[in-house]
């Protein structure tokens, strides 16, 4: 539980300070002119595009909310998966 609280604190308080610049791979694609070739039509739309929660005007707050929701979703999915695996192992015994 403590690790979840630490992850949530990092997501909420530090995510607004993340660099707005492209990562290394995106920068190379930009420099060599093939960035647009990697962009295709999305099969599934992102609920939180560009790490900004839609509908919130303040960019820092939108990033914090996106980090909070993303962390909670990742935790929930992994927690559920762990419970399913543990239940399967108990059933085998």
Task: For 1-26, write each residue's pLDDT tens digit.
Answer: 899 999 999 999 999 898 878 788 88
pLDDT at 54: 92
Label residue 35 by pLDDT band (50, 70, 90).
confident
- The answer to whether residues 48 and 70 touch, using CB atoms and an 8 Å cutoff, is yes
- The answer to whether residues 23 and 75 touch, using CB atoms and an 8 Å cutoff, is no
Label residue 58 by pLDDT band (50, 70, 90).
very high
pTM of the model: 0.75
């Amino acid at each position: 539980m403590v690790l979840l609280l630490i992850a949530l604190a990092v997501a909420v308080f530090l995510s607004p300070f993340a660099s707005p610049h492209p990562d290394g791979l995106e920068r190379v694609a930009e420099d060599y002119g093939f960035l647009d070739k990697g962009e295709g039509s999305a099969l599934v739309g992102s609920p939180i595009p560009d790490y900004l929660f839609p509908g919130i005007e303040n960019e820092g707050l939108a990033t914090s909310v996106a980090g909070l929701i993303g962390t909670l979703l990742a935790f929930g999915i992994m927690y559920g998966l762990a419970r399913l695996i543990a239940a399967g192992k108990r059933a085998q015994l």
